[in-house]
């Protein structure tokens, strides 16, 4: 899966709050194993990683608490 395919999967995912669509619209910075999303969404920072069958998202508050992790299925 490419970055463009990951963005397509995120845009197509329907969930409460539509955070996945917001992530798909942002610029991403390449890091080992995926991308980070510069900036914040209500204090949350995001990391995007490719996993078999989809895209794994990790959301965290600047080192506070445990991150939320979920997978968005690929469009394939």
Within 8 A by CB and 6+ apart from 50, the residues are 1, 6, 34, 56
With a cut of 90, say whether residue 60 has pLDDT above it.
yes
The domain ranges of the chain are 3-73
Q: pLDDT band at 39, cuts 50/70/90?
A: confident
Q: pLDDT band at 5, cuts 50/70/90?
A: very high
Average pLDDT over the chain, rounded to an integer? 91
This prediction's pTM: 0.89
Instruction: Determine contact, residues 72/54, Cβ cutoff 8 Å.
Output: yes
């Amino acid at each position: 899966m490419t970055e463009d395919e990951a963005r397509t999967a995120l845009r197509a995912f329907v969930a409460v709050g539509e955070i996945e669509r917001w992530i798909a619209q942002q610029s991403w910075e390449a890091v080992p194993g995926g991308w980070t999303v510069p900036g914040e969404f209500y204090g949350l920072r995001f990391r995007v990683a490719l996993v078999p069958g989809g895209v794994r998202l990790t959301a965290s508050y600047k080192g506070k608490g445990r991150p939320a992790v979920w997978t968005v299925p690929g469009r394939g």
